[in-house]
Amino acid sequence: MEPLIKYVQEKYIAKKEFPKFGAGDTLTVYYEIKEGNKTRTQFFKGVVIQVRGTGATKTFTIRKMSGDVGVERVFPVNMPALQKIEVNRKGKVRRARIYYFRKLRGKKARIKDANTFN
């Protein structure tokens, strides 16, 4: 059954080219929102908490602070409304899933820039 699923995913699901990113990177994700018969583009800028899955089922979670409230959003990579992804900063973290980032506030919530390291 698994080869059949893989065949259908490769054949019928449109693949989009996005830059490589991982946990700790700061991204801006542009996606389309439909309101009635109008569509508009909205963006979500935040830090990648995790990247999960492979192929057509790959998802990534982004967290941003909106005032004092943390907002997280999960984006499937093959979502049709996803227009583009920009990598604003590459972050240096030692884990693939940085759930501890949820508890950090203020200066402790800063992630070091990966370009300053060798």
Q: pTM for the whole thing?
A: 0.82
Domains (ranges, CATH) in the chain?
2-103 (2.30.30.790)
* Of the listed ranges 1-5, 24-28, 78-82, 90-94, the one predicted with least confidence: 1-5
Read off the pLDDT of residues 64-89 as tens digits, 9 standing for 90 and up. 988 889 899 999 988 888 999 999 99
Q: What is the DSSP string of the chain?
A: -HHHHHHHHHHHSPP-------TT-EEEEEEEEEETTEEEEEEEEEEEEEEE--GGG-EEEEEEEETTEEEEEEEETT-TTEEEEEEEE-B--S-SS-GGGGG--GGGG---BGGG--
What token pair was written down for 94? 């030692």
Instruction: Please say whether the beta carbons of 55 and 16 come within 8 A.
Output: no
Write the pLDDT tens digit of every residue in 7-50: 887 777 777 888 899 999 999 999 999 999 999 999 999 999 99
